[in-house]
Amino acid sequence: MFISILLMQIAVILVGELLINAWIGRAFELAPILADRLFVFRMSIALCVLTLSGLTMIIASKRYGDVLESTNEELGREVERQLASGLKKRNALIFGLAKLADYRDTDTGAHLERIGLYARILADELSGTYQEIDHKWTDRLVLASSLHDIGKVGIADAILLKPGRFTPEERTEMEKHALIGADTLLAIRAKLGPDEFIDMGIQIALQHHEKWDGTGYPFNLKGEEISLAARIVALADFYDALTSVRVYKDAMEHSKTMDLIVSLRGTHFAPDVADAFVANEALFNRIRKQMQGIRHGLPELTKLEIAARKYMDDQGNDQNGLKKAA
Ligand SMILES: [Fe+2]
Ligand SMILES: [Fe+2]
């Protein structure tokens, strides 16, 4: 662009020079020396004009380049901001959805938050063994772990909350939650297209009750046929379910749960996942105490009321929902 404009200017100057020369030659009878000096003078002016316009173009194109670059950078930042904000909203909605499903048989959804923490500890411990585990994979795992029991929304309360043992029919019904959860997420995938997070959620929902020795459900998958994410979440879920109080059972002690997990190494649980748990059992116990301590410190209704009232206060509403005077 710059070169072609310059060539055009040179061409215009040359044509102009020829025309001026012809006109002067016809109009005036100049001595050769005067004609030569006039020519040099004209050429000097033309050279100055060319140099000045060239410099102007260089400065203008540099400015244009700078403006373009900063606009591109700003646009890039805006796209990143929009993507991050969209992702944050999606993640919050997914966690809310999972929490809603989890409310039916656990303690206000804190089960999901603990499982996320336990899954992160196990993934960090296993990151040296598995290439696919990096911080992005682990972040995905933490959120996707919340979807493991999303299929329980499709199970009747009489079964889900039943104290005591299931009949064979009830057990079959209960086990359907893995397929229902996967089906729900597959419906999202059908609308959304392939997505790493949803795919991991499907694996976890479908396979978190599979066992390393192939005796789990729904498909009796064995060993590494079970996805790594599901192998990790299976242990995190098992530990938290056993050490938590449910309407139909008391909590098991940490040390007993640990012994049980060790005894199930290589049958229920992947050996390396069980080892990762043992290496971090003290951390599991600390998280369990801290997070369950908070839950047991307050009656549930009061805790919910406090959260709701805090929200109303933050929104500038009084306790009756009336707008405060500005
Ligand atoms: Fe489950
Ligand atoms: Fe669970």
More confident residue, 250 or 134: 134
Q: What percentage of the chain reaches a pLDDT higher than 70?
A: 82
Identify any residues that bridge with 249 across adjacent strands, giving them in sequence order.
Answer: 246
What whole-number distance in Å separates Cα of residue 312 and Cα of residue 326? 15
pLDDT of residue 160: 87
Q: Highest mean pLDDT range out of 5-9, 21-25, 51-55, 282-286?
A: 282-286
Assign 298 to helix, strand or coil: coil
Are the CB atoms for 138 and 124 separated by under 8 Å? yes
Average pLDDT value for residue range 53-71: 81
Assign 141 to helix, strand or coil: helix
pLDDT of residue 164: 83
pTM above 0.85, yes or no: no
Q: Does 218 score more than 50 pLDDT? A: yes
More confident residue, 283 or 23: 283
How many angstroms does the Cα of residue 154 sit away from the middle of ligand 2? Answer: 15
What whole-number distance in Å separates Cα of residue 122 and Cα of residue 163? 31
Contacts of 237 (CB under 8 A, 6+ apart): 115, 145, 148, 149, 208
For 296-315, the pLDDT digits (tens) are 444 455 666 666 766 777 77
How many angstroms does the Cα of residue 148 sit away from the middle of ligand 2? Answer: 7
How many angstroms does the Cα of residue 234 sit away from the middle of ligand 1? Answer: 9
More confident residue, 39 or 283: 283
Q: Does 201 score more than 70 pLDDT? A: yes
Residue 61's identity, in one-letter code, is S
How many angstroms does the Cα of residue 145 sit away from the middle of ligand 2? Answer: 9
For 79-118, the pLDDT digits (tens) are 888 888 888 888 888 888 888 877 777 655 688 999 999 9
pLDDT of residue 133: 98
How many angstroms does the Cα of residue 297 sit away from the middle of ligand 2? Answer: 22
How many angstroms does the Cα of residue 12 sit away from the middle of ligand 2? Answer: 81
For 221-230, the pLDDT digits (tens) are 999 999 999 9
How many angstroms does the Cα of residue 147 sit away from the middle of ligand 2? Answer: 9
How many angstroms does the Cα of residue 286 sit away from the middle of ligand 1? Answer: 24
pLDDT of residue 51: 80
What whole-number distance in Å separates Cα of residue 249 and Cα of residue 156? 18
Alpha helices for the chain (secondary structure H):
2-27, 32-102, 110-126, 135-144, 157-160, 168-192, 196-207, 228-243, 254-263, 271-279, 281-297, 300-314
Angle at CA 253, nearest 5°, toward 177 and 211? 35
How many angstroms does the Cα of residue 138 sit away from the middle of ligand 2? Answer: 18
Average pLDDT value for residue range 26-30: 67
Are the CB atoms for 198 and 185 separated by under 8 Å? yes
More confident residue, 205 or 40: 205
Q: What is the separation of C-alpha 74 from the centre of its chain, rounded to a whole number of angstroms?
A: 22
Are the CB atoms for 119 and 145 separated by under 8 Å? yes
pLDDT of residue 301: 57
Assign 228 to helix, strand or coil: helix
What whole-number distance in Å separates Cα of residue 150 and Cα of residue 155? 10
For 126-182, the pLDDT digits (tens) are 999 999 999 999 999 999 999 999 999 999 989 988 888 899 999 999 999 999 999
DSSP tag of 225: G
